[in-house]
Structure formats: structure tokens, C-alpha cells
A and B are shown apart, each in its own frame.
Chain A
Amino acid sequence: MNDRAVAVVGAGALTTVQDLGRPGFAHLGVPRSGALDPAAARLVNRLVGNAEDAAVLETTVTGCALRPRSAVTVAVGGAPCPVRADGRPLPWGTAVRVPAGALLEVGPAVRGLRSYVAFGGGIAVEPVLGSRSTDLLSGLGPAPLAEGAVLPLGAAAAVRGSVDAPPWPGPPDELVLRVRLGPRDDWFTSAAREALTTRAYLVSSASNRIGLRLDGPALERARPGELPSEGMVLGAVQVPPDGRPVVFLADHPTTGGYPVVAVVREADLGAAAQAVPGTRVRFVTSR
């Protein structure tokens, strides 16, 4: 049998199919979704010769185990982790050939949280609104991986990947997030605004694809009352009534009624998605 597909042997804590998301539907309440560390997703695709927006797997903490039904080119990147085929170690962060029927093990992340697994030809599940991404907020796209599921693969490109062994900076020990204050920074006391950019926060274990939740000084409101619902953006630092900021990641709701004190630069969100619980976080203002 030579069909292009991979069978899921071990789903891991949470493994989802992700591409670069489905922007353009926020006005209908559809989150953008997509890989939380898009630079890693693009790079593993380039390694196996795919277009950068091909669908890959995004693991969470524990990795996953897969059995390709035909020989396939694979690259694992993002969070560093051990990679094995039938128990034999394979290099991480570069394209490798895995024979048909071999057990491909993507091990637990050694640093960071989310590893990305690209297959030559990309994962070819049916797109929804132009994207194959799993959106955990609204349930669009394929379900998270489950043992026994079979994922179809697309036809592999005839050309080799355009990169061989790129540099992979590991996740930093301290997460520095550059922010622009606003649009609702005036809803907070000056002490709260100062605390945001001078005090340290810690990544909470309640973080997920919707948001990076933070423990640390509660940000006190300068005014009571409710904000009418308004549009939300990727990287918005939303402050719920408990005062603890949440940085919105790819599966964030498209509108919300809690004030946004600042917005994190998009370029910093990949590192935010790799920050393990307990990581120290600092916000710095930037233009």
C-alpha cells in the first residue's frame, strides 16, 4: 500500500493541525487561528520543500507518535525535542526521510512548549474557510489529533527544501514583550500602567492557544463600569476583572468587553507561545 497519509499512534497532550490561519473573517466572529509560532511553522515547511503556508502539526509539551503509510520527508522544529524513527535517533531541525510504516516519535519538548512537524506535501485535510487550522475557541477545522486518526498528505514537491540546517534560537529564559500602550490604557490607574511595564509577571499554567495568562501584580481600574464589546487584535493585552493580564494568541475571540491596556508586537508572539509556565515576563513599551 502506498497511500500518502500518516496514522496517529499517540496524540500527545494536544496536537493540532495548523497552517497560517484564516484571517479575513473576524467580522463574522471567526478567530484567525493558525500556528502559534508561525516562524517555526514556515521554517519546517521550507525544510521539506513545502510552501510556507502548508499545514503542519503543532504539538504541546509531550509530542506525538505517527506512522506514515508511505516514505515521507519530515522536519521537526519549534521547541527542541528528541525525534526517532523505529527507535533510532533522527536529527531535529532538519529534513529527514522516514520509511513507510516506520514509527515516527516526536518526543517531549526539551525547551519551549510547541514543536512543529512538517511532512512533504503538507497535511491535506479539507480546508474550512480557506484554512486547515484547528481553532480551539470556536471548533472550526479538524479536531485535535486522536489515536487511530489518519491524516491525508498532499503530493510532495519534486524539489528539495530550500534550506538545510537553519539556526534555531532556543526559547529565552525571560520573555520580553514589546508593547504599545492603548487603546484602553486610560481605564487603568497610573500606578497600574507603571506596574505593567516595570514589574515582572510569570506565565500561568492556565495559558492556551487563546491566550497567554499571566500571574503578577493585578492592574487596578481607574474607572468602573463595562466597556461595550469592541474588536480585538492578536497580541491584545486584555485585563479581566481580576486585573491579571491575558495576551491574546491566535485563537482569541474577535470581540470582547474587557479593556485592552496595550498590544504586544506580533514579532514577539512566537516566543510567547513557547514560554513554559513559570517563565518570567517583562513588558517594555516601544513605538
Chain B
Amino acid sequence: MGEHALLVELADAGAAEALHAELLRRRAAGALPGVREIVPAARTVLLDGVAEPARLAAELPGWEPRPGHARVGEVVEVPVRYDGPDLAEVAARWGVSPREAVRIHSSAEFRVAFCGFAPGFGYLTGLGARYEVPRRATPRTAVPAGSVALAGPYTGVYPRSSPGGWQLIGTTDAVLWDTGREPAALLSPGTRVRFVPAPRTGAGR
């Protein structure tokens, strides 16, 4: 991809995650010099700012990434008030009651597959394929910061108010992105996440 980048396409999301993990392992071990950016996505990993792209491209097929994830860190718990305007519609698509939809969503363990769209916005996977939902036909012009939302196979949390077409199922007070904090992003590729139901009332938001 261009002069300084390689876009590695994998068979599926799991293989992309495994290659991403392998790249991070190699970088941590000092065995991946001359790569500025490692950007995982749905089925690809982008390597940008690569000093010697031809050489790395020749080496990559010889790697055998261990299946597995980028990080086995602490689980980040995100408290959620399941009060989103699209909760009932999502529950109907799943063929369950809203209450059951909350149980399903809050009992899954998620993982940040990749980030994008806005700083600190993670695409989280963890729900089964039968829980995929489409984007809204008409995007909202303003989705409030902290909205917990679903689209396709992903759950995401809006770090700041922005237009958006995802189905809103809840709200969190967790701060997803704060450049005054180290690290600025609460969620980065590989982070494990659980959504924990929080009381609807008394949050004062």
C-alpha cells in the first residue's frame, strides 16, 4: 500500500487478531524495528511508516502467529445504564425482552478488535453472530458522549458527541478518551471489556 506501508489481509477476524498479537510481541521484544504504526482492523493489519516494506513483506508469510489475543490484561469494567432509545428495537431483533437483551449484553466478555472513527472509539466483539444488528437507516446527527451502541458484530462507546448511525442501547459515565490521562484511551486494541449494569436513577446525567 503506497511506498511505506503494508496492508496484510487475513482469512478472518481471528487470524487478524493473532497477527496483531504476534506483531505486538515482536515489537515488545525489539524484533520489529522500523515500523511506526500497527493498525488492526476487521480482517486486516496495516503496517505504516515501514522502513523496509519489501523486506518485511517477504518475511511475513514465514511467520506462524500463535492463535490468541493481543493482551491478557485486566478486564475493564464499563458501567452502563441500559436506557438507550434503541434498546427495545434491538431486543425485538434478537427476539427477546429488553430485560433479556440487557442480560445478554452484560454477561458477554468483549474484546477491542480495533479502533477508529474517533480517538478512543473501539470496535468491540464478543456477542455471537446471531446478535448482529444493522446500522440505523437514518443516522442521528448527534449521538451523546458515553452512548453504548451496536452495529454489525460490534459494540462501541462514543467518546464524544458526534453524528452516528449505531443502535443506542445505553449510556456510561466512563471517560473513554482523555488526553490529560496516561494512557489517553480507556480502550485500545486487545483490551478485554465487560459492561456492568448500573442503576438508571440517581446518576444525575
Identify the A interface with B (CB < 8 A).
23-30, 128-129, 138-140, 180, 182-183, 228-233, 235-236, 253-256, 260, 263-266
Contact = CB atoms under 8 A, between A and B. Distances in A.
6 contacts: A26-B48, A27-B188, A180-B3, A231-B37, A263-B3, A266-B2
Contact of B44 (A128, A180, A231, A266): A231
A24 B117 contact: no
Interface in B69-111: none
B112 to A, nearest CB: 10
A30 B5 contact: no
Nearest to A287: B3
B133 interface: no
B32 interface: no
A140 B1 contact: no
| A contacts with B: majority SS | loop
B60 to A, nearest CB: 14
Contacts of A233: 1-2, 4-5, 46, 48
Contacts of A28: 115, 119-120, 184-185, 188
Contact of B39 (A27, A129, A182, A263): A27
Contact of A138 (B39, B40, B118, B123): B118
Interface of B: 1-5, 7, 9, 36-46, 48-49, 114-121, 123, 160, 179, 184-185, 188-189
Most buried by B among A28, A182, A228, A263: A28
Contact of B119 (A140, A180, A232, A256): A140
Contact of B40 (A23, A27, A260): A27
Given A182-B1, A233-B48, A29 B118 contact: yes
Given A235-B2, A236-B2, A230 B37 contact: no
Contacts of A230: 7, 41-44, 46
B118 A27 contact: no
Contact of A253 (B45, B49, B116, B185): B116
Nearest to B37: A26
A254 B123 CA distance: 13
B160 A260 contact: no
Given A138-B118, A182-B1, 14 more contacts: A24-B37, A27-B115, A28-B120, A29-B120, A183-B1, A228-B41, A229-B123, A230-B7, A230-B43, A231-B40, A233-B48, A255-B39, A255-B115, A263-B3
Contacts of A253: 116-117
A196 B117 CA distance: 28
A27 B189 contact: yes
A23 B49 contact: yes
Most buried by B among A27, A232, A235, A236: A27
B2 A229 contact: no
Contacts of B179: 128-129, 140
Most buried by A among B1, B37, B41, B114: B1
Contacts of A26: 37, 39, 46, 48
Contacts of A235: 2
Contacts of A27: 37-40, 114-115, 188-189
A256 B39 CA distance: 12
Contacts of B2: 180, 233, 235-236, 263-266
